[in-house]
Amino acid sequence: MNIPSFQLDGKVALVTGGSKGIGFGMAQALGHYGAKLVITSRGVEEGENAVAQLKEENIEAVYFPCDVTKKDQVEQLVAKVVDHYGSLDILVNNAGMNIRKPLVEVEESDWDQVLTVNLKGLFLIGQACSKQMIKQNYGKIINISSILGTVGMQFQTSYAASKGGINQLTKVWAEELAPHNITVNSIGPGYIKTPMTKEWLSDPERTEWIINSTMSKRIGETSDLVGPVVFLASDTSAYVTGQILNVDGGWTAR
Ligand SMILES: NC(=O)c1ccc[n+]([C@@H]2O[C@H](COP(=O)([O-])OP(=O)(O)OC[C@H]3O[C@@H](n4cnc5c(N)ncnc54)[C@H](OP(=O)(O)O)[C@@H]3O)[C@@H](O)[C@H]2O)c1
C-alpha cells in the first residue's frame, strides 16, 4: 500500500486573514509541516509582524496585503503569489468577521458587511485561486466556516447566513473542481480563543454556558485546528472532498 504523507514540503499555501487568530495558527501549522506561506490581511503592520514570527520559527513566509472583498486586489494577490513562488497549492480561505445583534436590530449595513467579507470575499479568493489550481491540475481548498454553518444560535443572523453559504459553496466547488485534482472542504470551528472572540468570551457566565454546551468541557485553542488543517492540506486527504469538518469539542453532535 502507498502510504501518503502529512508533509507539505515544497507546497505553497495562501492563508487569508493569516495575521492573527485562527489564520495565524493555521499558517504556523502548515509551515511546520514544510509549506511555504503567503499571509494576507488588510492591516499591514500586524501582517508583517506575523511573517516575522513565522520566519523566527524557520518558516518561509511573505506578506502581501489584500482586502478580500475587492476583486482587483484579489486577482493581483494571486498573481503576486504565483510570481513569488511559482505555484499556489493550498488555500486556507479564512478571513472573516462577525456582528452579533438580535434580528430586529440588524442594520442593512451590518448584513452587507458580514456577507461581503465572509461570503463574497471567500468566493472571490476561491475563484481566483481555482483558476491557478486548474492550470496546475492540483489544489487543496480549505474554507473556514463555523459551527454556525450547521446549527442555529440567537444574535447570529448575518454570520450564520454567511457560514451556511460557505458550507454550500464547499459542496458545489468540490464537484466542479474534482476533475482538476482539487479537493474542497470546510472546517467549522467551535468557540476558539482569538482576538475576534476575546470580548465575547470575557463574560464568565457566557463562558460557562459555552463550556457546558461542549462535550470536551473547554473552549478551543488555535492549536486544536493544527491536525484538521494539515490533514485537509496534505495528500492524506486525497479522497476527502465536499466535507464539513466541525472542530468543536462535540458541540454539533449534541
Ligand atoms: N474564533 C472563533 O471562535 C471562530 C469560530 C468559528 C469560526 N471562526 C472563523 O475563523 C476565521 C478567523 O477568525 P478569528 O477568530 O481568527 O478572527 P480574527 O482574530 O478577528 O482574525 C480575522 C482575520 O481576518 C482578517 N480580515 C478581516 N477582514 C478582512 C478583509 N476584508 N480582507 C482581508 N482580511 C480580512 C483580519 O485582518 P485585518 O483586519 O487586518 O484585515 C484577521 O487577519 C473567521 O472566518 C471566523 O468566522 C472563528
Give residue 40's pLDDT: 98
CA distance 206 to 245: 25
Residue carrying the nine cell digits 475563484 = 127
Pocket test for ligand 1, best of 193, 196, 225 (most atoms within 8 A of CB): 196
User: Cα-flanking dihedrals φ and ψ of residue 243, to 5°?
Assistant: -105, 155
Task: Please state the separation of Cα 105 from the chain's center in Å.
Answer: 28
Task: Give, in order, the Cα–Cα distances in Å from 46 to each of 19, 96, 128, 142, 241.
Answer: 6, 16, 24, 23, 33
Element (H, E) at 169: helix 157-177
What domains lie within the chain, and their CATH numbers?
12-194+222-247 (3.40.50.720)
CA distance 101 to 109: 12
Strands 90-93 and 61-63: unpaired
**Coil, strand or helix at 46:** helix
Within the chain, what is the greatest distance between any pair of CA atoms? 57
Residue 85 appears among annotated catalytic residues: no
Give residue 140's pLDDT: 99
Give the pTM: 0.98
92 alpha carbon to ligand 1 midpoint, in Å? 12
Q: Which of 138, 159, 191, 239 is catalytic?
A: 159
62 alpha carbon to ligand 1 midpoint, in Å? 19
**Which residues lie across from 156 on neighbouring strands?**
101
Please state the three-class secondary structure of 76-120 as a single string. Answer: HHHHHHHHHHCCCCEEEECCCCCCCECHHHCCHHHHHHHHHHHHH
Please give the torsion angle defined by the CA atoms of residues 9, 3, 92 and 140, in that order, rounded to the nearest 10 degrees.
Answer: 100
Pocket of ligand 1 (CB under 6 A): 16-17, 19-23, 41-43, 46, 66-69, 94-97, 117, 121, 144, 146, 189, 191-192, 194-197
Closest CA to 63 of 90, 97, 24: 24
Smallest CA separation from ligand 1 atom 1, residue? 192
Element (H, E) at 72: helix 71-85
User: Which residues, given as ranges, of the chain have pLDDT below 70?
Assistant: none
Task: Give, in order, the Cα–Cα distances in Å from 71 to each of 76, 168, 224.
Answer: 9, 21, 32
**Coil, strand or helix at 165:** helix
pLDDT in tens, 149-178: 999 999 999 999 999 999 999 999 999 999
